[in-house]
Amino acid sequence: MGNKVLVKLSPAFCIMLAMMLLILPLKWLAAAAIAAMYHELCHVIAIRLCRGDIHRFSLSADGASLDISSLSAAQELICSLAGPIGGLCLLFFAHWIPRIAVCAAFQSLYNLLPIYPLDGGRALWCGITMIMPENRAARFYKLVETVCLAAILLTAVYGAVFLKLGFSAMIPAILIAAHTKFRKTPCKQRLQRLQ
């Protein structure tokens, strides 16, 4: 447990951060950064409580991720859910830190989507591999992920057409679907990276 943690910062993250600094109000950007740090801190605390080691902390265009030692499926389930649950708990403090609470809530809800590599996808994978064989778990996982993506896309189409939000309502759904399509889905029980 006393090993050093390698910190990796990708050029894509720096470019994304620079674009966000140009586009977003500084107060909201700071709130989102604090909420993201709190989210990762919740993961770190859960990993340490499960006696896991953190080998690398990475910041990329996909966000922050932690490379960790192997944990049992139950431990990884707990560690995966620690970040989003911690973020949702900040809603209790919304009166005092409204921007941070709102950012943390949105980050948590996004991260709970049952899509790999998000925390919800990882938690779903760990949970189903604890109760069914891996080949059936992979089929069930793919079904849940497909249904979730279809629901996201249908909601975006509904917003674009019936609520007259235009094509801008489609952009987040298209990005989520594209991100998922070009990502490798989990193929083993112990995935060693937390978002």
pLDDT (tens digit per residue) in 4-28: 888 898 998 899 889 999 998 999 9
Q: What total of structural domains would you count in the chain?
A: 1
The single-letter code of the amino acid at 83 is: G
Q: Say if 97 falls within a structural domain.
A: yes
Strand ordering across the sheet containing 54-60: 6-9, 54-60, 63-68, 193-194
Question: What is the tens place of the pLDDT at every residue in 141-153?
Answer: 999 998 998 888 8
Q: Which domain holds residue 147?
A: 6-194
Q: Say if 147 falls within a structural domain.
A: yes
pTM more than 0.75: yes
pLDDT value at residue 2: 57
Q: Say if 1 falls within a structural domain.
A: no
Concatenating the DSSP letter of every residue in 16-62 gives HHHHHHHHS-HHHHHHHHHHHHHHHHHHHHHHHHTT--EEEEEEETT
Rounded CA separation 86/108 (Å) = 8
pLDDT value at residue 137: 92
Q: How many of the other CB atoms lie within 10 Å of CB of 134? A: 14
Among 82-86, 134-138, 142-146, 151-155, name the most confident range: 82-86
